């Protein structure tokens, strides 16, 4: 049994490592070696990473891959993706190549509105509160003028503040529902600072409002925070081509192939068990680019899944149809992304990823990320309705299994070649590996 520790964050990095190794691992010496193996020799770079979070002991690697040949609105992109799942970059690259010769991806920004809320309790007459709000709304906006100044200069800022009566859901619960335009910034800090300013002014103004009783004056601010649900910050990405251009795949006609894709998407529309996995496949592409570009993938995940449930049932984020001989496949997804602020200028690989993407604006990044999600979904559904997912997946996973088994470079070459003609499963790979070793 270990005992709790006081003041862990104040220990030096070495002491933190020693403590964790001694208290929570079987072989402290080896633990320390593993931890230090991932330190960067460049002390400045290591310090930068150490300071991103509290209690850093080492770095946690994820591969950064490139999916080339994405034709988006007639411009070619090579998309950086940070992800551990073996088949994702390969699937994205394959889908990009497929659509590159069929007109590429077309995208449209449907909105860029961000949301934040001040949640508060008010005990009293709601009509009085409405009148009070009308009176003080300009003052609330004024109170954050210094915070908003720069954003306004660039064309962004506060779009609106609305008073919402939520008492039918929870006694005495009201909110200021606020909308913002944050341009190339994701905007979390800007929004939260504005909200905290509104909250403070709201409380102060209420205390001086003569028409309120003492109870009404005592507005209780519960919290002020941005929302990751942003149904009006949405991008659409689509591909389309004549059904006949889809060509026969794996022994099925182009028409059957198109119909199978539409059917698979329609199943994800009506069946939540399938929709969750279908959307997970979309997020494979989305998260990988979001992570590579230093954006907040948890915010993107939460917002996307909420959007997938906006009509009361969890459903597919992509859509497909065939009309007049044209196959169309598209996604609509909320994406609050930033290309300035946050890690964008701090993390050297994030900076590089943005450079590879030709330094996009936030709107351009929304389009690229949505395309990565759509491409990933196309790749997954294509495999699912034709060969099945395991063929491609195991092909990519083969190296992981061989590395786990401790295969040498020669053994890897030999077995990769062998599994070009044989079906790879975990047990088949183990078996073939043992046989190869025994031959020696
Ligand atoms: C695996 O990471 C993603 C898939 O399950 C997505 C899907 O089923 O559509 C293949």
- Count of all residues that appear for the chain in the document: 440
Q: CB within 8 A of 142, min separation 6: which ones?
A: none
Residue whose tokens read 């850093």 = 56
393 catalytically annotated: yes
* Helix ranges restricted to H, 25-168: 28-37, 43-50, 88-100, 126-143, 145-153
pLDDT of residue 249: 63
For ligand 1, atom 2: residue with the closest CA: 281
Domain ranges of the chain: 8-50, 64-108+237-387, 114-227, 392-439
Cβ atoms of 275 and 370 closer than 8 Å: no
Residue indicated by tokens 């040949």? 69
**Cα torsion 401, 405, 409, 415: sign:** negative
The pLDDT, as a whole number, for residue 396 is 75
In this structure, what DSSP letter does residue 167 have?
T
- Asked if residue 284 has its Cβ within 6 Å of ligand 1, the reply is yes
Catalytic (active site) residue 171: no
Is residue 14 flagged as an active site residue? Answer: no
Ligand 1 pocket test: which of 88, 267, 274, 281 has the largest number of ligand atoms within 8 Å of its C-beta? 281
Classify 438 as helix, strand or coil.
helix
pLDDT tens by residue, the chain, 440 residues: 678 999 999 999 999 999 999 999 999 999 999 999 999 999 999 999 999 999 999 999 999 999 999 999 999 999 999 999 989 999 999 999 999 999 999 999 999 999 999 999 999 999 999 999 999 999 999 999 999 999 999 999 999 999 999 999 999 999 999 999 999 999 999 999 999 999 999 999 999 999 999 999 999 999 999 999 999 999 999 999 999 999 866 789 999 999 999 999 999 999 999 999 999 999 999 999 999 999 999 999 999 999 999 999 999 999 999 999 999 999 999 999 999 988 888 999 999 999 999 999 999 999 999 999 999 999 999 999 998 877 777 777 888 899 999 999 999 999 989 988 888 888 999 999 999 999 87
Put simply, whether the predicted model's pTM sits higher than 0.85 gets the answer yes
> Does the domain formed by 64-108+237-387 have CATH 3.40.50.720?
no
23 as an active site residue: the answer is no
Dist CA 59 CA 50 (whole Å): 8
Token pair 């182009």 is at which residue? 254
Long-range contacts of 51-54 (CB under 8 A, 24+ apart): 52/343, 52/346, 52/347, 54/9
Of the residues 13, 49, 85, 412, only one is catalytic, namely: 85
For residue 274, give the ligand 1 atom closest to its CA.
8
Take residue 434 and report the two structure tokens written for it.
Answer: 């043992």
Measured from the CB, is residue 114 less than 6 Å from ligand 1?
no
Contacts of 336 (CB under 8 A, 6+ apart): 114, 186, 187, 228, 230, 233, 299, 300, 303
CA distances from 299 to 187, 195, 286, 353 (A): 12, 18, 12, 20
- Tell me the sheet residues that pair with 65: 81
Report CA-CA distances (Å) from 121 to 131, 217, 399.
17, 11, 57
CB 104 within 8 A of CB 239: yes
Alpha-carbon torsion 162, 166, 167, 171, what sign?
Answer: negative
Tokens coding 423: 């079906």
Separation of 299 CA from ligand 1 center, angstroms? 21
CATH of domain 114-227: 3.30.70.420
Distance CA 184, CA 150 (A): 13
Compute the chain's Rg from CA coordinates.
27
Which of the residues 217, 236, 393, 397 is marked catalytic? 393
The single residue of 97, 128, 203, 280 carrying the catalytic annotation is 280
């Amino acid at each position: 049994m270990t005992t709790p520790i006081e003041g862990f964050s104040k220990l030096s990095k070495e002491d933190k490592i020693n403590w964790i190794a001694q208290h929570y691992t079987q072989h402290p010496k080896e633990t320390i070696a593993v931890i230090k193996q991932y330190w960067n020799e460049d002390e400045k770079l290591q310090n930068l990473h150490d300071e991103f979070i509290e209690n850093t002991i080492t770095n946690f690697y994820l591969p950064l891959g490139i999916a080339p040949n994405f034709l988006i609105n007639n411009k070619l992109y090579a998309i950086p993706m940070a992800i551990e799942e073996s088949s994702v970059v390969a699937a994205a690259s394959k889908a990009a190549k497929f659509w590159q010769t069929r007109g590429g991806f077309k995208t449209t920004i449907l909105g860029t509105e961000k949301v934040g809320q001040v949640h508060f309790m008010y005990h009293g007459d709601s009509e009085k509160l409405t009148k009070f709000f009308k009176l003080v709304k300009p003052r609330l906006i004024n109170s954050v003028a210094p915070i908003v100044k720069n954003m306004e200069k660039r064309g962004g800022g506060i779009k609106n503040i609305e008073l919402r009566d939520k008492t039918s859901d929870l006694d005495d619960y009201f909110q200021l529902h606020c909308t913002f335009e944050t341009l190339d910034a994701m905007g979390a800090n800007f929004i939260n600072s504005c909200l905290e300013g509104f909250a403070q002014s709201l409380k102060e103004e209420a205390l001086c409002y003569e028409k309120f009783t003492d109870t009404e004056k005592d507005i209780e601010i519960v919290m002020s925070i941005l929302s990751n649900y942003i149904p009006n910050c949405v991008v659409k990405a689509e591909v389309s081509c004549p059904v006949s251009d889809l060509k026969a795949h794996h022994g099925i006609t182009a028409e059957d192939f198109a119909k199978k894709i539409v059917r698979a998407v329609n199943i994800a529309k009506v069946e939540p068990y399938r929709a969750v996995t279908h959307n997970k496949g979309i997020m494979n592409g989305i998260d990988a680019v979001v992570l590579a570009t230093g954006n907040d993938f948890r915010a993107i995940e939460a917002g996307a899944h909420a959007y997938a449930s906006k009509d009361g049932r969890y459903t597919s984020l992509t859509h497909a149809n065939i009309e007049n001989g044209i196959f169309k496949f598209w996604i609509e997804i909320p994406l609050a992304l930033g290309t300035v602020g946050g890690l964008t200028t701090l993390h050297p690989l994030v900076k590089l990823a943005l450079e590879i993407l030709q330094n996009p604006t936030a709107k351009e990044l929304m389009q690229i990320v949505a395309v990565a999600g759509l491409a990933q979904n196309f790749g997954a559904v294509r495999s699912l309705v034709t060969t099945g997912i395991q063929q491609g997946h195991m092909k990519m996973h083969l190296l992981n299994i061989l590395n786990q088994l401790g295969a040498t470079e020669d053994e890897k070459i030999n077995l990769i070649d062998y599994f070009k003609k044989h079906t790879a499963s975990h047990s088949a790979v183990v078996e073939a590996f043992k046989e190869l070793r025994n031959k020696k």
